[in-house]
Amino acid sequence: MTGTKTNQSMAGKIVMVTGANSGIGKITALELAKMGATVTMVCRSRDKGEEALREIKESIGGGSLELMVADLSSQSEIRTLAEEFQKKHDRLDVLVNNAGVFVRQPSMTRDGIETTFAVNHLAYFLLTSLLLDLLKRSAPSRIVNVSSRAHTSATMNFDDLQGEREYGGWRAYCQSKLANILFTNELARRLEGSGVTVNCLHPGVIATGLFRVLPKILELPLRIFLSSPETGAETSVYLASSPDVEGVTGKYFIKKRAVASSPESQNAESARRLWEVSERLTGLIPA
């Protein structure tokens, strides 16, 4: 593993990165730890998490990192994660919601929610909501949501949000990435004046494990066009750490530049509606 070069310091900052055992999340954790941050790596597998932690420490010659194990498809595990984190830490400077899945066939979490929607959107929503008071107390603080350019081909199908009538893996993925942007925009609006910023990004088209479920015949040609996880992590690291984006909120970034996201993702009514549905589906307000 080789990290991107940076000269900014994150010393004294406490950072949480989800999905930190592989791909973009692993390099994000590595880079931020290299800049002096104390990094909590959230991983669903203890074995994979420990291996990644060891590799990162070896690669940077130390660093302050810890592992917290949580399956983010489970809302009770997200609640336990948020509680345990707050027992250990009295601040959180940066939350990077990065964990994501691409699921070809319809599947349900143990909470009875379609898996793509649960992991890619509701986990971002619930974890952030549970840590929001801590982030506010730690202001100026930052939330970074890893979305995708795939959002551009999606609309929010509020009549069949979880693909119960008709499921398509790619459609579910694109909709979940659109949800990341709508969530970012609505949260930025709600956090105005709090000192907590929230931005989202497209990392590029990156050689990670994300599309491992694709048939090899599709995956292999795709790999020729892919960038490295190091390139994929650059915008996450930038949004988490750079003074350039201090105070910047509610934006969508590609290659460290704020760009326009799709018209659908800028629909304030959709963002409000998604927020309300998400509150109910996560039990933050009664269903």
Ligand X SMILES: NC(=O)c1ccc[n+]([C@@H]2O[C@H](COP(=O)([O-])OP(=O)(O)OC[C@H]3O[C@@H](n4cnc5c(N)ncnc54)[C@H](OP(=O)(O)O)[C@@H]3O)[C@@H](O)[C@H]2O)c1
**DSSP assignment letter at 256:** T
53 near ligand X, rule: CB under 6 A: no
Closest contact distance (angstroms) between CB of 9 and ligand X is 25
169 near ligand X, rule: CB under 6 A: no
| Binder of ligand X out of 4, 36, 48, 272 (CB under 6 A) | 48
Which residue is at the shortest CB distance from ligand X? 23
Spatial contact of 201 and 245, defined as CB atoms under 8 Å apart: no
Assigned token pair, 247: 């105070």
| Binder of ligand X out of 99, 113, 239, 277 (CB under 6 A) | 99
Closest contact distance (angstroms) between CB of 282 and ligand X is 15
Spatial contact of 175 and 162, defined as CB atoms under 8 Å apart: no
Say whether 173 is catalytic.
yes
250 near ligand X, rule: CB under 6 A: no
71 near ligand X, rule: CB under 6 A: yes
* Amino acid, single-letter form, for residue 39: V
Burial of 216 (0-12, 13-18, 19+ CB in 10 A): exposed
- Measured CA to CA, the distance from residue 71 to residue 217 in angstroms comes to 30
Q: DSSP string covering 65-111, please? A: EEEEE--TT-HHHHHHHHHHHHHH-S--SEEEE------SS--B-TT
H helices of 113-215, where?
A: 115-116, 123-137, 169-190
Q: Which stretch binds ligand X (CB under 6 A): 19-27, 152-160, 262-270, 275-283?
A: 19-27
Closest contact distance (angstroms) between CB of 37 and ligand X is 19
| Binder of ligand X out of 12, 62, 140, 209 (CB under 6 A) | 209
Of 118-147, which residues contact ligand X (CB under 6 A)? Answer: 119, 146
By residue count, the chain amounts to 287
189 near ligand X, rule: CB under 6 A: no
75 near ligand X, rule: CB under 6 A: no
205 near ligand X, rule: CB under 6 A: yes
Q: How far apart are the first and last CA of the chain?
A: 45
Number of residues that bind ligand X (CB under 6 A): 26
Residues forming the site for ligand X (CB under 6 A): 19, 21-25, 44-45, 48, 71-73, 98-101, 119, 146, 148, 202-203, 205-206, 208-210
Q: Which residues are catalytic?
A: 173
